[in-house]
Amino acid sequence: MRVEEDFDVKNLTSFKTGGKIKKVYFPSNLDDFVEITNTESDFQVFGNLSNTLVSSDGYDGVVVLTTQMTDFSVEGTRVKTDCGLKGPKLSQVVAEDGLSGMEFMVAFPGTVGGEVFMNAGAHGQTISDIFVSATCWSRSRGGFTLTKEEMEFSYRTSICQRENYVVLAAEFELTPALQEEIKAKMQENLNFRHAKQPSLALPNCGSVFRNPEGDSAGRLLEAAGAKQFKIGGARVWENHANFIVNDRAGTSADILELMYNMYKVVKEKFNIELKPEVRFLGGNNEKEVELCSQLKII
Ligand SMILES: Cc1cc2nc3c(=O)[nH]c(=O)nc-3n(C[C@H](O)[C@H](O)[C@H](O)COP(=O)(O)OP(=O)(O)OC[C@H]3O[C@@H](n4cnc5c(N)ncnc54)[C@H](O)[C@@H]3O)c2cc1C
């Protein structure tokens, strides 16, 4: 198994910020993962780092990146996959098999494990709509299976976030449909992205804040004047106020400070506390830690 020490993840993150991580494992399968659990007493698991802000001062601990755990199978309408497979790849494979339900996954760069953990969704579909069960792991429980009910999915969350469960593999049930219709829907989703959201050529993490109940974070931020905000190399995207883009020179501290200013202006104007969708990995930089605590970022 590939193991790296003092490994710089900056180029792996969607924001293109971050620093060195003390030790990074890249398991390829379940056996590799079990080996890590036997070797390391404490570690954090991430997928494609597409929803994670990594401290510019790095992280002084052990991280497991799952992006090489990519085995999958399709039998009839049932799809089983290891956690590290990326959504765009999986959605394209099942489209070729005439299976509908994963069209939304084509348009953003998460892994299946990250998407289950976050209950990712877009274009009227979410991972919970097609989810059957997952093989999970935690230090206290070891390996176990969670059904859809046990997963306690709701908007951008699942029990895995609350209990710190690792998702190792997942099973989905899809619906047969015409290949042309599935592909047309995927193209429509991609067209929507190109028209309404920044491409990854402008490093970004997708939506920064969750939508508060009955409203949109983008609308609130725009109405509060956040579209003009900028800190260092990080700025609010000119076409949609719930996106931060990094003009390459930005640091994670710039992004956090900008997030805090966005949060503060909405709180002042509407008395609504926006909740970040983005996750954080770090701990060495006092300013970042303080901003994360103000923003209640995990
Ligand atoms: C351009 C862009 C557009 C986006 N659009 C959307 C969108 O429309 N809808 C949407 O929902 N999201 C969107 N996202 C956010 C992101 O892709 C999703 O949140 C995705 O689910 C994160 O997957 P990941 O593998 O990159 O997770 P990471 O960023 O690696 O991790 C995110 C969180 O999941 C946890 N995690 C990751 N893998 C596992 C695992 N196997 N087991 C347990 N925990 C795990 C991590 O600990 C972390 O807390 C977008 C991101 C980008 C960059």
Mean pLDDT for each 10-residue chunk of the chain (298 residues)?
Answer: 97 95 98 97 97 95 98 97 98 97 95 97 95 97 97 96 97 97 96 90 94 95 96 95 94 95 97 95 91 90
Tokens of residue 298, six digits: 């995990």
> How many domains would you assign to the chain?
2
The pLDDT value given to residue 126: 95
Whether 222 is covered by a domain: the verdict is yes
Is pTM beyond 0.85 here?
yes
H helix or E strand, kind and range, residue 287: helix 286-295
If asked whether residues 143 and 224 sit together in one domain, one would say no
Tell me: do 222 and 179 sit in the same domain: no
Instruction: Write down the pLDDT at residue 237.
Output: 96
| β-strand partners of 137 | 143, 166
CA distances in angstroms from 208 to 53, 189, 298, listed in the order given: 11, 20, 13
Quick check: is 251 in a domain?
Answer: yes
pLDDT of residue 248: 82
- Does residue 129 share a domain with residue 185? yes
Look up the CATH number of the domain holding residue 261: 3.90.78.10
Say if residues 295 and 259 touch (Cβ distance below 8 Å): yes
User: Are residues 112 and 226 located together in one domain of the fold?
Assistant: no
Residue 187 lies in domain: 72-195
Phi, psi of 243 (to 5 degrees): -120, 135
Which ligand 1 atom lies nearest to the CA of residue 66? 41
Same-domain status, 188 and 221: no
The closest-lying atom of ligand 1 relative to the alpha carbon of residue 279 is 49
Residue 267 lies in a domain: yes
The reported pLDDT for the residue numbered 34 is: 97
- Is there a contact between 115 and 127 (Cβ–Cβ < 8 Å)? yes
Same domain, 185 and 231: no
Q: Is the dihedral of CA 161, 67, 48, 72 positive or negative?
A: negative
Pocket perturbation via mutation, ligand 1, pick of 33, 117, 208, 298 by most ligand atoms within 8 A of CB: 117
For residue 298, the model assigns a pLDDT of: 78
- Asked if 191 and 84 sit in the same domain, the reply is yes
Mark whether 153 and 247 lie in a shared domain: no
